[in-house]
Amino acid sequence: MTYSLTCADTGANCPGSFTTENQDELMEHVMLHAQRAHPELVGNEQLGAMVKTLIKQG
């Protein structure tokens, strides 16, 4: 099973796209991306919870 998320899923105008084999790894990639590409979101405690609701399983 794979897990995926794109920044566009969050409403951001960003081409970021991530697919991994497990949800924890996906969250690591997404959070690292957010720190570098979307520093205005760092520290937003709701970010992780919101991202988890947008993850697609395939």
Per-residue pLDDT of the chain (58 residues; tens, 9 = 90+): 999 999 999 888 999 999 999 999 999 999 899 999 999 887 888 888 888 999 999 9
Percent of the chain with pLDDT over 70: 100
Cα-based torsion angle of the residue sequence 12, 17, 21, 24 in order, rounded to the nearest 10 degrees: -40
Enumerate the domain spans of the chain.
Answer: 3-57
Name the burial class of residue 5, with classes exposed (0-12), middle (13-18) and buried (19+) by CB atoms within 10 angstroms of its CB: buried
pTM of the model: 0.84
